[in-house]
Amino acid sequence: MRIEKLSAGLAKMESYRLIRSVRAGLTIAIPILMIGSFSLLIRTFAGYFPALIFIEELAELLYQCTFGILSVLLTGCLAWGALQTEEKPLPGDWIVPPAAIMVFIILNGGLKLESAGAVGTFTAVCAAFFTSFTYCWLRRKMPAEHFFTPGADYNFNQALTAILPMLAVLLSAAVFNEGIRLIFHTESFQEVFVLLSNTLFRHMGRGFISSALFVFLSSVLWLLGIHGTNVLENVSRTLFQEGMQINVAAVAAGLEPTEIFTKTFLDNFVFIGGCGTLICLLIALMLFSRQRVNRTLAKTAVIPMLFNINELMIFGLPVMFNPVFVAPFLLTPLVCLFTSSLAMGLGWVPLCVQGVEWTTPALISGYMATGSWAGVVLQIVNIAIGVGIYAPFVLLYDKILIRQSQRQMSELIAMQNEQMEQGKPTNLIGAHGMIGNFAKLLAAEMKYDLQQNHIEMGYQPQFDADNHCFGVEALLRYTHPRYGKVPPPLIIDLAKETDQLQTLELAVFTQVLQADFSGIDAVISMNVTVDTLKSEVFADFLRHHPVPKDRYCIEVTEQNTLLLDDAMRQRLKEFKDLGYSLAVDDFSMGSTSLKYLQSSQFELVKLDGSLVKNARENESGRQIIQSILYLAQSMNFTVIAEYVETAEVRDLLKALGCTHYQGYLYSPAVPLEQLRDVIREIENQGQAASLKRL
């Protein structure tokens, strides 16, 4: 019950537009954050070697164009992320990110480079979402036709339409900033935030309580999707960096260091692996998680997190806005703060006496900061404690992901069924909201598994009235490690929407043609859609894979879209000459199905599944089946009834004249290694029944 509540709560949180906007925006910003972090790392490393001055200068340029203007870039990313969550995209919404940057400049009291870096992150968040939400609201309220210029370029008209809502947003931000300036006697909204945070911590002094508050607030901001370390950068510089300077000066004067709570102390003994002591979560995922998505993310994040760059974990897992990880994310750094301050206060570990860049890997940083192996041991102890704190929450999150995946899969299948019942072309990838995102994710993972040749096949035997196996249908099966079994119709629709269907079908043909069917005296049929059937790539594939005559059968699905012109008839004849027999799936008495029979290329047809399923209740359906069977007798082709699930349906079909069956009455699709045993068992049952009748 607790897991279900947490799963429902997580799903509800993800439905909130603000949360989805923050995640989308910060996901866009990941390349910027990663490049900036690694440029800082390279710059620091190259600075130790004069010969690498050129590399240091290059890294400095990368740092300045990323972290140097981080708040400006983040404003644009977050504004764009907010636009992605709009139910109906607005024409001309490209103006919103630059407008948000303009609002950011207003809230900073002008274009100030010192506020454009990490310290302006909180202002960036405010500017981005105020601009996006306000502009979109105003844009919908203002009639666009008042600004329409007949004959003008489309983009020109959209630009004119954007003037008034954009002006209203900028004026609102300017008035707000002016009010803040008059009330607090500062230059801008950004300075008010910096002033309040600095004042709060300055009055508290530099001690355990102020350090705990700093750690707690930084963690809370991270959970809200705000770069907490950067937002509180001024506090870190003015309060905790000062403590480091005192220690360095004391050591230089031959005195003992006195300050425990310094910036180096927090970076290297509390925020190991970044805020939330996330290196502990990384290790816990690799040790305890059984979900492939989590383990893959952990492996991807290993190298960045060795250097305390944790954005992939924060935004990718995600940790932010994730109720499962709130408690360990807040608790772990506070526990590390307590153990580290206790160890140094009791003299077990020397105080930090050397400044260490926050990108320095753990263990190395512990030794460099304290000049003692005791610093390394303290980091190991803290990491072990943190892993123990995170471990139960990782196991809980695994269970929640399973429940969440099952729910999302059910919703996606329900949407697919609804679209099919309404006669609409399926559009799962383009669906709005979480279902559409889930469809995109599933399609991407299917594509990856297809490239890795991680596809499975099931084989469903077909039997005649005497229980003799005359055929086997090869059916695609896909079991996702997280979502479980994916229904074949969903696989096909997602592959079709992502232009992977032909690749998928060729992979199926390749696997089936390479399979060992020795000892199975039956025709092996494989499904192919019309688009693939018509492609030259498929034709070339078959030309390079000739087969023994009538051993393999090509079963055409979606035949309503196939044009049987002379070229197609010639191609079908070529396929038959290569040894393949041809079958029609979902056959009815429609005009398209009848045209297939006129081509004289198809030896086998499968009854439309709806005819078989409703045969007992539907008199007209039974008459259609009889008509098809009459045609089969006169035109010399075989009819197979699919979806035969009960003996009653089989007996009814037999009474109508249908003697070839496929369905769960006999067997579901089974792996190849089980197929021979299944066929042998059912054929033996048929022989026993025949002897009994004798």
For 600-619, the pLDDT digits (tens) are 678 888 888 888 888 888 88
Model confidence band, residue 694 (pLDDT cutoffs 50, 70, 90): very low
Model confidence band, residue 150 (pLDDT cutoffs 50, 70, 90): low
Using DSSP's 3-state secondary structure scheme, residue 232 falls into coil
State the distance between the two ends of the chain, measured CA to CA, in whole angstroms.
59
Q: Amino acid identity, residue 24?
A: A
Burial class (CB in 10 A: 0-12, 13-18, 19+), 465: middle
pLDDT tens digits, 68-126: 888 899 899 989 888 877 767 676 778 889 999 999 999 888 888 777 877 777 788 88
Contact residues for 105 (Cβ-Cβ < 8 A; gap 6+): 111
Give the tokens for residue 141: 């309220």
Question: For residues 569 and 601, what is the distance between their CA atoms, to the nearest angstrom?
Answer: 8
Category of 425 on φ-ψ map: left (φ > 0), alpha (ψ -120 to 50) or beta: beta
Q: Kindly state which CATH superfamily the domain 455-693 is placed in.
A: EAL domain (3.20.20.450)
Helix axis angle for 17-46 and 121-141, nearest 10°, is: 140
Give the tokens for residue 176: 């707000």
Closest listed residue to residue 109, CA positions, set 88, 87, 127: 127
Closest listed residue to residue 87, CA positions, set 13, 20, 2: 20
The full set of domain ranges for the chain reads 1-204, 205-424, 455-693
Show the beta-strand stretches assigned E in 429-542.
Answer: 456-464, 469-480, 484-486, 523-529
Question: For residues 470 and 472, what is the distance between their CA atoms, to the nearest angstrom?
Answer: 7
Helix axis angle for 96-107 and 70-83, nearest 10°, is: 140
Instruction: Report CA 692 to chain centroid distance, whole Å.
Output: 58
**Residue-wise burial string across 395-408, b where 16 or more C-beta atoms lie within 10 A, e elsewhere:** eebbbbbbbbbeeb
Question: For residues 156 and 162, what is the distance between their CA atoms, to the nearest angstrom?
Answer: 10
Eight-class DSSP state of 641: B
| Mean pLDDT of the 264-270 span | 91
pLDDT tens digits, 337-394: 999 999 999 999 999 988 888 778 899 999 999 989 999 999 999 999 999 999 999 9
Question: For residues 477 and 2, what is the distance between their CA atoms, to the nearest angstrom?
Answer: 33
Average pLDDT, the chain: 84
- Helical spans, DSSP H, in 557-603: 566-577, 591-598
Give the tokens for residue 661: 């069956």
pLDDT tens digits, 172-206: 999 998 898 888 877 777 677 677 777 777 777 78
Eight-class DSSP state of 325: G
Q: Amino acid identity, residue 509?
A: F
For the cut 50, the answer to whether the pLDDT of residue 237 exceeds it is: yes
pLDDT tens digits, 456-513: 899 999 999 989 999 999 999 888 877 778 888 899 889 988 889 999 999 999 999 9
* pTM for this prediction: 0.70
Taking only Cα atoms into account, the Rg of the chain, rounded to an integer number of angstroms, comes to: 34
